[in-house]
């Protein structure tokens, strides 16, 4: 029985949890802070994986798998890294009934153990670049957790590359940020802002971090992917060296980049409405649901015959689900598949059979406005067109929403107001003291210094000092 979803305007956070649980994307696990990804949520994640993996392979990367357990001593080799991750570690102290000599850390991220392997695999400039990605689970001991957004264990991919020069590493770092932005925009229909993280927000051990930032439905920001130029920090800590063309030993330059199951949370929050999920067609596990409608046995026979034609027309080109269960009414099914975010519904009743047509109902346009009748004859084309329209409309809608809630305050008073309403795009002098003050007084943080800059200089929105860049500030997940 479908329960009620809390309206977004009433309690956004409960709306989010309601949608995820009732659409059966995920559930709470018995261990605090952990989550179970249910089949529907996992099918969505599989589509996210496929979209990313295809792009990684097209840019020359290979997948590999590194161990879950990392010796504690490894984590301690890079000073900033251990500082950043120490409070979040899960530690195995016993194995096979005995206490271990050295405790093992359950990987929170794999720079250290991968660095160790690279130091053995890389000898010469001929071995470079090394372009490896891994799909894995990682564990970070979080105190405040939320389904998909912040869980103790989560699934992600982490790319780890090694290069001969700084320039190549930097090029790779930005290439992967582009890959993430391309995926977010074109597959997830989520507009993102590419930019550099501030010094205080960068990855523990990175030289420079970059991120894509998206605006959720409650106007808060979500970091949706990160790409780090690690400089030679990990190469020095793990002795990753190569002989260059002059036969001299050099440290490598490394990068790392990751996208996680957070992306699923972003999809829920960017597109969802009070009826539930709204999934972008490119990623939806079910793109089209067909619901037959009948009263008499005679109608049933005719309608189900038409459903077979729909199947034959669509089976090869779209992910189609036919819901011909008899224990539920058509209205119940409409609600159910709306809740689960299926982009397009096909309704087929006795009158449609007579007229050799079906009704299409778009999930992104509830009610009459999203309904149209199309002839059975050209159905495959009409459905593909509708899915494209929906995909584009979701992106457009999210972009308009974000832009409508992005402000350019020039003084601190309006800045403080702006971050309660959405993103503030403001001049910042770069001083940590100003950043700290913002954080303390407004609960918003520096999301990124966007690549897109107005040019010239301005006055820092906090201290009024000279500022060379604008930054995006927002309250964030």
The contact set with a second copy (CB under 8 A) reads 27, 29-31, 34-39, 41-43, 45-46, 62-71, 74, 86-97, 103-104, 106, 113, 116-117, 120-121, 126, 132, 136-137, 139, 141, 143, 152-153, 155, 327
Please list, in sequence order, all residues whose beta carbon lies within 8 angstroms of the beta carbon of residue 60, skipping any fewer than 6 positions away.
131
Q: Which is nearer to a second copy, 35 or 386 (CB)?
A: 35
Q: Least Å distance between CB 2 and a second copy?
A: 15
Q: Which is nearer to a second copy, 238 or 427 (CB)?
A: 238
d(CA 26, CA 36): 5
Alpha carbon distances (Å) from 406 to 135, 196, 266, 447: 34, 18, 18, 13
d(CA 150, CA 256): 20
d(CA 299, CA 302): 5
Bridge-based pairing state of the strands 344-348 and 288-292: parallel
Q: Which is nearer to a second copy, 37 or 361 (CB)?
A: 37
Q: Least Å distance between CB 284 and a second copy?
A: 15
DSSP 3-state assignment of 265?
A: helix
Backbone angles phi, psi at 98, to 5 degrees: -120, 155
* Among the listed residues 318, 197, 227, 212, the one whose alpha carbon sits nearest the alpha carbon of residue 266: 212
Q: Which is nearer to a second copy, 153 or 338 (CB)?
A: 153
Q: Least Å distance between CB 152 and a second copy?
A: 8
Q: Least Å distance between CB 31 and a second copy?
A: 5
Q: Least Å distance between CB 62 and a second copy?
A: 4
Q: Least Å distance between CB 366 and a second copy?
A: 28
Q: Which is nearer to a second copy, 43 or 463 (CB)?
A: 43
Enumerate the β-bridge partners of residue 474: 445
* Among the listed residues 439, 443, 422, the one whose alpha carbon sits nearest the alpha carbon of residue 431: 439
Q: Least Å distance between CB 268 and a second copy?
A: 17
Q: Which is nearer to a second copy, 66 or 251 (CB)?
A: 66
Q: Specify burial of residue 230 (Cβ count, 10 A radius: 0-12, 13-18, 19+).
A: buried
Sheet holding 62-63, edge to edge: 62-63, 130-139, 153-163, 253-260, 221-229, 208-215, 193-196, 445-450, 469-474, 423-428, 406-407
Q: Which is nearer to a second copy, 156 or 401 (CB)?
A: 156
């Amino acid at each position: 029985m479908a329960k009620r979803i809390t309206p977004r305007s009433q309690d956004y956070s409960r709306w989010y949890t309601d949608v995820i649980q009732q659409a059966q994307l995920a559930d709470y696990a018995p261990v605090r802070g952990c989550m179970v990804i249910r089949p529907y949520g996992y099918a969505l994640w599989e589509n996210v994986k496929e979209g990313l993996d295809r792009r990684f392979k097209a840019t020359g990367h290979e997948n590999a798998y590194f161990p879950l357990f990392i010796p504690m001593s490894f984590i301690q080799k890079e000073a900033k890294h251990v500082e950043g991750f120490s409070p979040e570690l899960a530690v195995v102290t016993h194995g096979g009934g005995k206490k271990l000599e050295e405790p093992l850390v359950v990987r929170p991220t794999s720079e250290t153990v991968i660095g160790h392997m690279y130091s053995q695999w890389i000898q010469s400039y001929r071995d470079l670049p090394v372009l490896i990605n891994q799909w894995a689970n990682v564990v970070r001991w979080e105190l405040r957790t939320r389904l998909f957004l912040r869980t103790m264990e989560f699934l992600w991919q982490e790319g780890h590359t090694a290069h001969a020069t700084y320039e190549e590493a930097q090029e790779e770092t930005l290439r992967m940020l582009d890959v993430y932005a391309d995926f977010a925009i074109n597959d997830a229909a989520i507009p993102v802002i590419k930019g550099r993280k501030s010094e205080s927000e960068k990855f523990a051990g990175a030289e420079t971090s970059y991120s894509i930032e998206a605006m959720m439905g409650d106007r808060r920001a979500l970091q949706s992917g990160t790409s780090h130029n690690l400089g030679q920090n990990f190469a020095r800590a793990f002795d990753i060296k190569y002989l260059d063309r002059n036969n001299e030993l050099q440290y490598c330059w490394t990068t790392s980049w990751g996208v996680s199951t957070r992306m699923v949370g972003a999809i829920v929050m960017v597109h969802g409405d009070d009826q539930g999920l709204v999934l972008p067609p490119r990623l939806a596990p079910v793109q089209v649901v067909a619901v037959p409608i009948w009263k008499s046995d005679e109608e049933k026979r005719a309608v189900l015959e038409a459903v077979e034609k729909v199947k034959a027309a669509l089976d090869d080109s779209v992910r189609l689900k036919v819901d011909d269960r008899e224990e539920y009414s058509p209205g119940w099914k409409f609600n159910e598949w709306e809740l689960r975010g299926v982009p397009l519904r096909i309704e087929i009743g006795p009158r449609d059979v007579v007229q050799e047509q079906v009704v299409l109902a778009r999930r992104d346009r509830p009610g009459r406005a999203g309904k149209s009748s199309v002839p059975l004859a050209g159905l495959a084309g009409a459905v593909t067109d509708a899915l494209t329209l929906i995909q584009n409309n979701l992106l457009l809608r999210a972009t308009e929403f974000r832009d409508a809630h992005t402000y350019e305050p020039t003084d601190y008073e309006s800045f403080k107001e702006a971050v309660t309403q959405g993103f503030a795009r403001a001049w910042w002098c770069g001083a940590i003291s100003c950043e700290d003050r913002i954080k303390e007084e407004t609960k918003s943080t520096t999301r990124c210094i966007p690549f897109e800059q107005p040019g010239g200089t301005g006055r820092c929105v906090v201290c009024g000092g000279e500022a060379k860049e604008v930054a995006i500030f927002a309250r964030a997940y």
